[in-house]
Amino acid sequence: MSIAEKLPSILIANRGEIACRVIRTARRLSLRTIAVYSDADAEALFVQMADEAYRIGPAPARESYLDAAKILAVAKESGAACIHPGYGFLSENADFAEACAQAGIVFVGPPASAIRAMGLKDAAKALVEKANVPVVPGYHGAEQGVDFLAREAQRIGYPVLIKAVAGGGGKGMKKVDRAEDFADALTSAQREGQSAFGDGRVLVEKYVLSPRHVEIQVFGDSHGNVVHLFERDCSLQRRHQKVIEEAPAPGMTADVRAAMGKAATEAAKAVGYVGAGTVEFIADGRDGLRADRFYFMEMNTRLQVEHPVTEAITGLDLVELQLKVAAGEPLDFSQAEVTATGHAVEARLYAEDPEKGFLPSTGKLWALQFPVAEGIRIDTGVEAGDTVTPFYDPMIAKIIAHGATRDEALDRLGAALGETVVAGPRTNLAFLKKLTEAKGFREGPFDTGFIERNSAALGAQPQPLDAAAVAAAALQLEEERELACVLQAAERVDGEARSPWLVADAFSLMPRPALGLPLLVDGERVEARIEWHEAGARVSLPGHEIDEGEHEISLAEGEHGTWLALHRGRQTSVALFDPFSVDLDAAAGSGGVIKAPMHGKLIALFVAAGDAVVKGQRLAIVEAMKMEHVLTAPRDGTVSEIGAAPGAQVAEGAKVVVLGE
């Protein structure tokens, strides 16, 4: 029997690009596809792609995508034969997997027992130790007292990592370098763990020096077969979140691959693993990858975001393999038959602002274009006109490049990033492009601290005004202004559409005078000057040199008369300056208005009106996309106003705290 005969319909209990990814394979296998969506995703691409779609609640994930009862109710109503959980949300929820089985619906993933065994980092480490898999030294016990854990950290030796036991994706993970910072980091890790996973417990581990993050893709079937599909290197990270992943791992040798592969498959066998899973290791990279210097970190009991690089080098469709295994079929290949060809690299394109500490960015995608090129694959769940909301992960797309060699794959990835156009939310596009070109990454060696050490060179800090981008937008704004003058004049001249006396007509008895154009550039006042010559109009910006290089500048029309200029992956917002829409708080110039840096939830407020504060003191914490962002005092002062209460949703730019003198 075919998969479609065994599992004729599939419900995807997820959203965005992974929902689109699963639907594509399910369609090819002739499965009926069923989507579930929140109010925020009613018009989303994955909803349009599915054969059927059902609303499951409001935008917040806990009221929609994390509501197992609602999803199971839709599965029963729609007659779904199986449920694919994607990654995140309910993908590693053992209770959900168990509830699917009890409802007679196949869960496309491992059995609940395997999820439980590997779901908590402390228990998983104890389990794999029994299977002779090396683990990082640390405290993995049940005691959670602040003083006790602080003593354990001292015993282990700084630097240490605090990790949420139910964590993943960098959430609930904090590196601590000094004993005096431990308590605050612990509180933050516990709060993030509780928010993201419903479990605030943590473990404390030794921070491995020059760490390389290498993971092994494993696959098991219900007939006792377990194989690995080689490794992926995920060492390019920011705040413990993967940025670029590749396969195979640079510097990997046959003996280290064999040792890691054996450890990974043994860990999977120890829990009776079935389906796709990833065993993650941290390696001490000071002397390159060695068979005696890697340690088990965790096992992700689901498909990984970076699975396309494994697909690229092996030629396998991992979602198809998941469905085959879920249908009860055995793996139809042995370990010896798994081969790899070439090199693959994946970059995660996010709606975030590297120049402002990678704060999440939201808003409408006014333009979105990806290249079509040899060796390039684009996985996305959005299209032009969609909106990036504050409710979910801000990923826009994954850009995957495959080549015969690592250099060719990276060259193709860099070229694809250079041809990608995104207008609306700020993105990490320019940052990713610089990463692909960074000498330290291209030539190695590199580790998980590479981005942090090279953040300035990679553009992850405030950048100078892009004068070329401003000039291009200024010309566009002037053309619009002239066209508006033509149209207004046409209405006044008895229906005549043109007049020889209009400046915009290009007919003039005198040379055209230079024009001063007041602009608002990324919220700041900038003066532009336009002069007309025989060769055309030229723009100058007093105090700024315009780089007239070969890099193309794309323009996308935004809202309220704003043009978004895209140049070398950066976005510059340009509009005509309106003196009647001045931010009075900013104009006051006191530096005492502390605003929300992005849309999110105010989860903590540490001060009240009348409190005296000092520069750098923590004032509040805003959470967005399950990550915390601390607001601090820009100067000494006294709190004169509180703009929002804990628990409230705050918009980007909303006042949170106001300081007086």
Residue at 535 is within a domain:
yes
Task: Report the pLDDT value the prediction gives residue 588, as an integer from 0 to 100.
Answer: 46
The answer to whether residue 477 is domain-embedded is yes
Cα(398)–Cα(409) distance, integer angstroms: 15
**pLDDT above 80 for 168:** no
166-183 residues labelled b (16+ CB within 10 A) or e (exposed): bbbbbbbbbbbeeeeebe
**Same-domain check for residues 39 and 96:** yes
243 in the same domain as 282: yes
pLDDT number for residue 501: 44
Mean pLDDT, the chain, as a whole number? 91
Chosen domain end from 93, 108, 123: 108
Residue range of the domain that includes 187: 137-206
Residue 20 lies in a domain: yes
* pLDDT of 589: 45
Question: Using one digit for the tens of pLDDT, what is the confidence trace for 414-442?
Answer: 999 999 999 999 999 999 999 999 999 99
Predicted TM-score (pTM) of this structure: 0.85
**pLDDT above 90 for 243:** yes
- Res 119: pLDDT: 83
- Residues 597-628: pLDDT tens digits? 888 889 899 999 999 999 999 999 988 766 77
Residue 377 has pLDDT above 60, yes or no: yes
Residue 173 lies in a domain: yes
Q: Are residues 10 and 90 in the same domain?
A: yes
CB atoms within 10 A of CB 446: 22
Domain count, the chain: 6
DSSP string, 418-466: HH-EEESS--SHHHHHHHHH-HHHHH----TTHHHHTTTTTT-S-----
Examine residue 129 and state whether it is found in any structural domain, yes or no: no
Segment 39-61 mean pLDDT:
97
Q: Is the pLDDT of residue 550 over 80?
A: no
216 with 329, same domain: the answer is yes
- What percent of the chain shows pLDDT beyond 70? 93
pLDDT of 579 > 90? The answer is no
Of the pLDDT bands very low, low, confident and very high (cuts 50, 70, 90), residue 533 is: confident
Structure confidence at residue 535 as a pLDDT band (50, 70, 90): confident
For the segment 375-391, the average pLDDT, to the nearest whole number, is 95
Residue 312 lies in a domain: yes
Same-domain check for residues 221 and 319: yes
3 state DSSP class of 311? helix
pLDDT confidence of residue 484: 72
Judged against a pLDDT cut of 70, whether residue 364 lies above it is answered with yes
Per-residue burial over 156-165, b = 16 or more CB atoms within 10 Å of its CB, e = otherwise:
beeebbbbbb
Do 135 and 203 contact (CB within 8 A), yes or no?
no
pLDDT at 585: 55
Residues designated as active site: 302
Structure-model confidence comparison of residues 141 and 6, the more confident one: 6
Query: 226 and 334, same structural domain?
Result: yes
What are the tens digits of pLDDT across the range 441-454? 999 889 999 999 99
CATH number at residue 449: 3.30.470.20
Cis peptide before 360 (omega within 30 of 0): no
Q: Of 398, 288, 401, 290, which Cα lies nearest the Cα of 342?
A: 401
642 within domain boundaries = yes
Confidence of residue 130 (pLDDT cuts 50, 70, 90): confident
Q: Of how many residues is the chain composed?
A: 661
Query: Do 290 and 380 belong together in one domain?
Result: no
What is the rounded average pLDDT of the residues 246-274? 96
Assign residue 618 the CATH number of its domain: 2.40.50.100
For residue 637 the two structure tokens come to: 């002062």
- pLDDT score recorded for residue 494: 53
| Tokens linked to 13 | 């209990």
Residue 232 and residue 309 in one domain: yes
Q: What is the pLDDT of residue 137?
A: 86
499 and 572 in a single domain? The answer is yes
Residues 238 and 325 reside in one and the same domain: yes
509 with 592, same domain?
A: no
Query: 655 and 595 in contact (C-beta within 8 Å)?
Result: yes
Residue that is last in its domain, among 181, 206, 231: 206
Among residues 170, 118, 120, the alpha carbon closest in space to that of 140 is found at 120
| Domain-ending residue, one of 206, 240, 256 | 206
Residues paired with residue 205 on neighbouring β-strands, in sequence order: 138, 161
* Whether residue 310 is found in the same domain as residue 376: no
| Sequence letter at residue 150 | A
Cβ atoms of residues 208 and 235 within 8 Å: no
Residue 115 lies in a domain: no
For the chain, helix, strand, coil in percent to 5 are 30, 30, 40
Which residues, listed in sequence order, are joined to residue 283 by a DSSP beta bridge?
212, 294
Q: Convert the pLDDT of each residue in 308-328 to its tens digit.
A: 999 999 999 999 999 999 999
pLDDT over threshold 80, residue 392: yes
